[in-house]
Structure 1
Amino acid sequence: MSDFAFERDGAAASSAPRRPRASLGSAEAEEIFASFDPKILRRFFAFLKPHKTYLVLAQIAVLTSAATAMSIPYMIGRAVDAAAKRDPSRLDQLLMVFAGLVVLNAGAFFLEQWMSARLAQKVIFDVRRAMFSHFQDVSLSFMDKTHVGRIMARLQGDVNALQEFLESTTGALGDLVLLVGIAIVLLATDLQLGLLTLTVIPMLIAVRAIWLPFSKKTFRQARDASSSANSALAENIQGIRTVQETRREAMNFDLYEEKARENMQAQVGSAKLTQVMVPTVDVLTGFAMAIVIVVGGNAVLGGRLDVGVMVAFIFYVQRFFDPVRMLSMQYTIMQRAMAAGHRIFEVLDVPVTIKDKPGAAPLGRDMEPTVEFRNVTFGYDPKRPVLHDISFKVRPHEVVALVGPTGSGKTSIMSLTHRFYDVDRGQVLVGGQDVRDVELDSLGRVIGMVLQEPFLFTGTIEENIRYNTSASLEEIIEAAKAVSAHDFIMRLPEGYQTRLGQRGRNISLGQRQLVSFARALVADPKILILDEATANIDSFTEQAIQKALKVLFAGRTCMVIAHRLATIRDADRIIVLQQGRIIEEGPHDELMAQDGLYARLYRSAHASFDDATVAATGDAEFAMRT
């Protein structure tokens, strides 16, 4: 298979070893149906507390609608009796009351729907906000092990399931009240006829008991097939460049067609099973009405029953099975909502491990801009350390470069400096304070980072450079000029007001990097971290940036990662890493004079550290890993 392929579960196929996923992707979490869970319901209804006024008004409207719906057939029956007895004054009174009930029923139904919709939207707004807030604080260690795109897509559907449940919950109460109320009215009006009419209920329960297990299995298959087809479609769109490059359009179409066909067959099966209950209820309704007509008709002919009562019975029977249909649907909605609630609260329960501890102190702008590692050992998996007993100190306004082959721990050092992760052993100090003892917000204001893969947000170039600052346009332009971004920005049709597409894809990768440079610099951090920041910039642009960086580095403490050794030879100090350990340290000339690993690598290849690692060191393990 080529780079792009579909897996049976819709995930990307890959020959590379997979990282273990978080429990959010477990088979239990993927269930579309779940049994009633009071704990989930209690947590969910906690979101209702701020909006209890809407809930109360909706319930009042529901009860009013149910009461008027039960009264209307009774009034019709009384009106029929009045007409049969030729009592026009009584008939007129009943018609006026009937009209009032119809208007009240319509108004209550409208208020019920309106209040339910507003309540659902407000609660779902709070749920979305809680999820977004929590995801922004979730530690990167969790994100490293989780397929975020798939989880977010799934949670979007789960939120919609909760919304559907909320909108139908108030109606479910009305349907239940209507169902019980009609049964009571039928029995109270004529016990014998009422009991005969309600004999269809055991048959309905039996049909439902047989239908439910099949429906669960079929609906689960339909959802799995839909998820697989959607995942395949999204993956194909995201990888369209690779698809067209390798000319796999025809093969991918065949693979997608297979998944789409499986989805179609599963959806047809679920729709077919769904429709089984509709004619079943209709048949039972007809059977109940036949009982009323035959038994009730004989009672009317025998003089035991008024014709109006029989007419009312017919209307009540029709009304009786409407809530039966709705409650059957709402039961399925409730099951989906329970499963959705499990998944949503599972996400909200993900612990935030990187957070301010009680009494954390802010880093002041007047603090000494130093970075120090003291005997740091760290691994994304604690059983497999990436860094081993690392110790070094970056003094104020010093430019320190980190070099080493891929996997030597350079980026991990940068991440620990910003406290994206916590160390397993040892200490990381910024400004002389352990990063675990300072406020994260102040740490973010002191440290600026430019990464190898720049991330630009949808918006104008000006907005992207100003990101998280209050810089003026003049300051933005000054920063852009400093990193040689101003000229290409001014060549764009709308200059700094040019809107960027998703991740800034309407400008080149090198231009995106320059914008991210300007964004970091306009924030004026005391400590600047560059992680392969010049890797995606052409040699001509890099020359201009090197000149700008000398000016920009002045007055700042800087840590730089670069594979191109030529780009960091002017650093005050170079730290050479290999397999998570520091093996050499010093300025460029001193390291060259030592004639160690750095010198051999530099002489072997000026362009790239990785390119020469195997040749210079004979590191067979590194060769296998790369």
Structure 2
Amino acid sequence: MASNVSGKAFDRSLLKRMLRYIAPYKGVFWGAFAITILLGSLGTARPILTQRAIDNYILKGDAPGLLNITLLILGVLLVESIFQFLFTYAANYLGQSIIRDIRLQLYKKITHFKLSFFDKTPIGTLVTRAVSDIETIASIFAEGILVIFGDLFKIVVMVGAMFWFFDFKLVVISLSVVPILFIATRWFQKAIKKTFSDVRNEVAALNAFVQEHLSGMNIVQMFNREKAEMDKFKVINNRHRKANIRSIWYFSIFLPLIEILSAISIGLAMGYGGYAAINSFDSQTLQMFFYEVMGWSTAEMEQQITIGTLLAFVMFINALYRPLRQLADRFNTLQMGMVASDRVLKLLDNNDAVEPEGSAQLTEASGKIEFSDVHFAYVESEPVLRGVSFDVNPGETLAIVGATGAGKSTIISLLMGFYPYQSGSVKLDGIEITDLSLGELRKQFALVLQDVFLFSDSIFNNISLKADIPKEEIVKAAEQIGVDEFVKELPEGYDYNVKERGQMLSAGQRQLLAFLRAYVTNPPILILDEATSSIDSHTEQLIQRATDVITEGRTSIIIAHRLATIQKADKILVMDKGQVVESGTHETLLAENGYYTKLYEMQFKEREAI
């Protein structure tokens, strides 16, 4: 998902699209826009007032006049400070409001992506897009567009004021190095563009690596992989450092160049203007000639460069170079924001990753499930299901068994619409599941997985998932399936925080909470996917009790590793290499002395050996 911010036209189109997010905040934007114009205009006041103070009052010894103009300068400073505060607040308010909207839009989009998208995209990359990339976008509005416009406007006003108030030749000589600055700025802008893209790429890679390895730290330590993984991290971290150093290298050239050109401008002004002021040199010969050639009036031309004029002019040069110097940083900020916005907008535009939804409605399913000749492959050349067909009647319990990789869990993924099947038919209550909206489809199911995911929150919130379910109802349900006993033993009971992924609880306790979570939703269809494969015998008895309670009166599908837990099932499907090889009850399958019998005898011998 590398950035493609390249080319002036593409940058413009990207910037135009980002500007659309301003629409809800037009008042704030235009208010900040007006303030930046006002600030640009006020910037000329202090140098001119300083010149008047020196030439008209200090050199003439006019103390009352000096006091008045000093108060006026202080007043201008106060007004500038107030408007600078208003501008900074408005610009940052605009930026934060816009990224709030974009982040909400992006998160909503991510939650509707297909699971196949998450199979191919590192979580750390998505975290980078949703957090740091979007945060960088705020700078487009808070420190980019408005501030760049303000700086450019200030530059134009300053240059215009210099030609209006000062000796023409003095201005031309002093600003003769500015073209070099514009050339250098353009070079810098082009050179820094790719380095920022590289930096963002490496930040995403760094986040992805750290997130993945922190999540799997137990595996890293268990297999003594600390040094090997550290070596990998050093490589990624070094790439990140090099990308940043490349951008720093351009800054280390450009910023001193600006300082040198600024010093040269001031030196030229001091040299020419100082000589003219000291020797009362009439500096207008060339200017007079230029005005006469152009046919302009020379009536208002300055007759002499004074000390006050020279000081004011140096102030103008500093005021001119300050935005020119900052312009590089502004373009830097804008470019980083554009790279980040390119990445975020690509994610927002990725409609291929969005789960397709049907429009059919299903208020509450009776639980009739039909699979007819279903074929599916995660990778096109590697089929996982090969013509699977079966049906489950309302209220029945279907068990699916088979070796690892036989396609058991894939059947559940297709039934819940997590992946699209290539051919065949999957129906719920006679309706093709692709014709149902995903919300309507998935609210018919409650799913209990082998690997239970719990949020870093209280047990109550993990059970209710913050839905409007009374606590009394959850406690009653916990008592019915035998979960209440262990919850009450915890320090804060149902308010106990289980921490990230439920690490404060055992595997069996997490599994029991998953059963409770499924039970309180009261689904028409219950799915248990290897829910008893990694727990002790005592917890297995509790879960078996819970299973009996929550499967009563509803359609249930149980993917089982331990065959002892499914002997009461109404129907058992035996899967092998993506196909249904046997089907029937526990007794009929044992009587056939086939694949199921071999699985059963193998597990029986394993238990005897234990």
Q: TM-score, normalized by length of structure 2?
A: 0.88
What residue number does 2:219 align with? 242
Measure the CA separation in 1 of the matches of 2:8 and 2:383: 40
Measure the CA separation in 2 of the matches of 1:142 and 1:250: 31
What residue number does 1:20 align with? none
Q: Which amino acid aligns with 1:346?
A: K
**Residue by residue, what CA displacement relative to the aligned partner does 1:177-232 show, whole Å, maximum 9, x if unpaired?**
11111111112222111111111112223444555566556666666666665555
Measure the CA separation in 2 of the matches of 1:256 and 1:361: 49
C-alpha displacement at 1:94, in angstroms?
A: 2.9
What residue number does 1:614 align with? none
What residue number does 2:19 align with? 45
What residue number does 2:355 align with? 354
What residue number does 2:123 align with? 148
Measure the CA separation in 1 of the matches of 2:232 and 2:380: 40
Mapped contact 2:125–2:207 kept (Cα < 8 A): no
Mapped contact 1:400–1:572 kept (Cα < 8 A): yes
What residue number does 1:446 align with? 444
SS for the counterpart of 1:47 is helix
Q: Which amino acid aligns with 2:253?
A: V
**Residue by residue, what CA displacement relative to the aligned partner does 1:383-411 show, whole Å, maximum 9, x if unpaired?**
54322222211001100001122222211
Structure 1: any 5+ residue segments left out of the alignment? 1-23, 610-626
C-alpha displacement at 1:163, in angstroms?
A: 1.2
Measure the CA separation in 2 of the matches of 1:417 and 1:393: 12
Tell me whether 1:60 sits opposite 2:34 in the alignment.
yes
From the superposition, tell whether residues 364 and 268 of structure 1 become closer, same or farther in structure 2 (CA, over 3 Å). closer
Matches within 5 A, 1:449-528: 449-467=447-465, 469-528=467-526
C-alpha displacement at 1:414, in angstroms?
A: 0.9
Measure the CA separation in 2 of the matches of 1:607 and 1:449: 31
What residue number does 1:166 align with? 141
From the superposition, tell whether residues 177 and 211 of structure 1 become closer, same or farther in structure 2 (CA, over 3 Å). closer
C-alpha displacement at 1:465, in angstroms?
A: 0.9
What residue number does 1:566 align with? 564
Measure the CA separation in 1 of the matches of 2:113 and 2:214: 28
Measure the CA separation in 1 of the matches of 2:348 and 2:196: 27
Tell me whether 1:326 sits opposite 2:326 in the alignment.
yes
The counterpart of 2:48, out of the listed 74, 78, 86, is 74
**Residue by residue, what CA displacement relative to the aligned partner does 1:147-189 show, whole Å, maximum 9, x if unpaired?**
2332322442211221122211221111111111111111222
What residue number does 2:289 align with? none
Mapped contact 1:32–1:223 kept (Cα < 8 A): no
Measure the CA separation in 2 of the matches of 1:173 and 1:186: 20
Mapped contact 2:193–2:335 kept (Cα < 8 A): no
What residue number does 1:436 align with? 434
What residue number does 2:100 align with? 125
Mapped contact 2:128–2:207 kept (Cα < 8 A): no
Matches within 5 A, 1:11-50: 24=1, 27-28=2-3, 37-50=11-24
Structure 1 stretch displaced more, 107-116 or 444-453: 444-453
Measure the CA separation in 2 of the matches of 1:167 and 1:403: 59
Tell me whether 1:302 sits opposite 2:278 in the alignment.
no
From the superposition, tell whether residues 213 and 467 of structure 1 become closer, same or farther in structure 2 (CA, over 3 Å). closer
SS for the counterpart of 2:505 is coil
Structure 1 stretch displaced more, 54-63 or 303-312: 303-312
From the superposition, tell whether residues 36 and 409 of structure 1 become closer, same or farther in structure 2 (CA, over 3 Å). same
Structure 1 stretch displaced more, 122-131 or 502-511: 502-511
**Residue by residue, what CA displacement relative to the aligned partner does 1:589-610 show, whole Å, maximum 9, x if unpaired?**
001111111112211224899x
Q: Which amino acid aligns with 2:307?
A: V
From the superposition, tell whether residues 32 and 529 of structure 1 become closer, same or farther in structure 2 (CA, over 3 Å). farther
What residue number does 1:618 align with? none
Give identity over the alignment, percent.
32
C-alpha displacement at 1:65, in angstroms?
A: 1.4
SS for the counterpart of 2:427 is strand
SS for the counterpart of 1:176 is helix
What residue number does 1:337 align with? 337
Measure the CA separation in 1 of the matches of 2:254 and 2:119: 46
SS for the counterpart of 1:500 is coil
The counterpart of 1:97, out of the listed 49, 72, 80, is 72
C-alpha displacement at 1:334, in angstroms?
A: 2.0
**Residue by residue, what CA displacement relative to the aligned partner does 1:269-323 show, whole Å, maximum 9, x if unpaired?**
6445423333222221111111111111223232622332222111000111111
**Residue by residue, what CA displacement relative to the aligned partner does 1:563-615 show, whole Å, maximum 9, x if unpaired?**
22222121110011112211111101001111111112211224899xxxxxx
C-alpha displacement at 1:61, in angstroms?
A: 1.5
Mapped contact 1:40–1:342 kept (Cα < 8 A): yes
Matches within 5 A, 1:603-618: 603-606=601-604
What residue number does 2:301 align with? none
Matches within 5 A, 1:174-253: 174-189=150-165, 190-208=167-185, 211=188, 215=192, 232-250=209-227, 252-253=229-230
Q: Which amino acid aligns with 1:509?
A: A
Pair member with larger Rg:
2
C-alpha displacement at 1:125, in angstroms?
A: 0.3
What residue number does 1:3 align with? none
Q: TM-score, normalized by length of structure 1?
A: 0.86
Measure the CA separation in 2 of the matches of 1:419 and 1:228: 31
Mapped contact 1:33–1:336 kept (Cα < 8 A): no
What residue number does 1:585 align with? 583
C-alpha displacement at 1:133, in angstroms?
A: 0.6
* Aligned Cα root-mean-square deviation (Å): 2.6
From the superposition, tell whether residues 261 and 139 of structure 1 become closer, same or farther in structure 2 (CA, over 3 Å). closer
From the superposition, tell whether residues 394 and 248 of structure 1 become closer, same or farther in structure 2 (CA, over 3 Å). closer
Structure 2: any 5+ residue segments left out of the alignment? 283-303
Aligned length: 580
From the superposition, tell whether residues 251 and 392 of structure 1 become closer, same or farther in structure 2 (CA, over 3 Å). closer
C-alpha displacement at 1:252, in angstroms?
A: 4.7
Q: Which amino acid aligns with 1:323?
A: P
Tell me whether 1:282 sits opposite 2:280 in the alignment.
no
Q: Which amino acid aligns with 1:589?
A: E
What residue number does 2:406 align with? 408
Mapped contact 1:504–1:512 kept (Cα < 8 A): yes
What residue number does 1:7 align with? none
Measure the CA separation in 1 of the matches of 2:606 and 2:348: 43
What residue number does 1:311 align with? 311
**Residue by residue, what CA displacement relative to the aligned partner does 1:467-523 show, whole Å, maximum 9, x if unpaired?**
254222222123223443222211111111101211111111221111111001000
SS for the counterpart of 2:379 is coil
